[in-house]
């Protein structure tokens, strides 16, 4: 049996450049001021996707995401990668419309029938989301990679961003964390089949229901982001920095996949997670939280849930809505507070 994860230097979104790397690279790029008033969301807030207004009642959401194999089954890898790419549209409050495949494949190293299964997995997820795959691009590459470029739609007045949180907002998470730990254990041959199956189920669950629950509350949901490669703490930091606020995170309230804590204790920590932890260390007051628990909060997720900032008086309504839409979690994990922008205290 061919193990796709053996062809990957890292697992899924853990392969992303770290926030520190991105900051360094973007600091070398000469910024060109964007003055187009129809660009509603661009570079400024490290958001999940770009949003461009076409008319008063219609805007397009544009995003892309791709990564190396995170599981060995090609069909599941395709499904996970597609679910992950679509998530950026849902995080903006949008609806996916159209997708293009992004493929890198070692033509002399892996059979093309495996690639066909990857594409079938991605296509099935996109179709299940009510969108279309309409083409794509491929290159010959020593390391396989797959993902999507996605276009969606949203009403210009109903865009969710990571920059709108207000003091006192309740933070709600819609999927458990630990996916990076499991994918690392899989790559090292230390994850049992049941745990891998659980991770695949989580990573192939669309965030459409979470989007629906958030949008149903209208202006009460002030900010949103999806939790992927930078980990829960990294994406919370971006939300706080974009909103000019700080946050308190209740580590004990964060949902964690059963069995993951044991894997962390056994050293199943991705390199991407360690880079995440190093990057946020100066922004987070961990208190007495043990290092293993710190790594878990920085764990590089792939196709994780949405993190939503909701007005405190509507938090119960959001949790009820998330449960009604059968999201995998509806956990209140903290709140936003006044303080230095982008800082987090573990409570």
Helices 112-128 and 74-91 sit at what angle, rounded to 10 degrees? 40
Whether the CB-CB separation of 45 and 163 falls below 8 Å is answered with yes
Residue 338: half-sphere exposure toward Cβ, Cα within 13 Å: 0
Annotated catalytic sites, by residue? 13
Residue among 255, 259, 143 at smallest CA distance from 190: 259
DSSP 167-202: TTPEEEE-S-B-HHHHHHHHHTT---HHHHHHHHHH
CA–CA distance, 3 with 77 (Å, rounded to integer)? 12
Question: Which residues, at least 6 apart from 52, have a Cβ–Cβ distance to it below 8 Å?
Answer: 38, 39, 40, 59, 60, 62
Are the CB atoms for 6 and 142 separated by under 8 Å? no
Q: Which two tokens stand for residue 184?
A: 């690392």
Measured CA to CA, the distance from residue 256 to residue 91 in angstroms comes to 21
Distance CA 336, CA 289 (A): 20
């Amino acid at each position: 049996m061919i193990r796709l994860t053996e062809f990957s230097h890292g697992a899924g979104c853990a392969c992303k450049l770290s926030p520190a790397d991105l900051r360094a690279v973007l600091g070398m790029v000469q910024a060109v001021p964007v003055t187009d008033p129809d660009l509603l969301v661009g570079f400024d807030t490290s958001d999940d996707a770009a949003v461009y207004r076409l008319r008063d009642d219609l805007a397009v959401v544009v995003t892309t995401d791709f990564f190396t194999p995170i599981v060995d089954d090609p069909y599941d890898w395709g499904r996970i990668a597609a679910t992950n790419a679509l998530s950026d549209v849902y995080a903006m409050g949008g609806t996916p419309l159209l997708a293009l495949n992004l493929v890198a494949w070692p033509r002399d190293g892996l059979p093309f029938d495996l690639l066909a299964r990857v594409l079938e997995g991605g296509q099935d997820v996109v179709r299940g989301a009510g969108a279309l795959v309409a083409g794509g691009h491929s290159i010959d590459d020593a390391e396989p990679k797959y993902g999507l470029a996605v276009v969606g739609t949203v009403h210009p007045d109903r865009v969710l961003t990571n920059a709108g949180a207000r003091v006192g907002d309740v933070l709600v998470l819609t999927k458990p964390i630990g996916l990076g730990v499991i994918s690392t254990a899989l790559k090292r041959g230390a994850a049992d089949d049941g745990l891998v199956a659980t991770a695949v189920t989580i990573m192939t669950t669309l965030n459409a229901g979470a989007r629906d629950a958030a949008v149903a509350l209208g202006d009460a949901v002030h900010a949103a982001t999806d939790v992927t490669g930078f980990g829960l703490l990294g994406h919370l930091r971006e939300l706080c920095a974009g909103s000019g606020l700080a946050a308190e995170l209740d580590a004990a309230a964060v949902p964690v996949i059963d069995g993951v804590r044991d894997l962390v204790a056994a050293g199943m920590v991705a390199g991407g997670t360690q880079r995440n932890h190093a990057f946020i260390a100066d922004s987070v007051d961990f208190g007495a939280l043990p290092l293993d628990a710190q790594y878990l909060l920085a764990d590089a997720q792939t196709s994780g849930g949405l993190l939503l900032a909701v007005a405190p008086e509507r938090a119960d309504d959001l949790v009820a809505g998330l449960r009604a839409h059968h999201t995998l979690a509806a956990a209140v994990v903290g709140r936003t507070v006044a303080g230095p922008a982008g800082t987090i205290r573990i409570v």
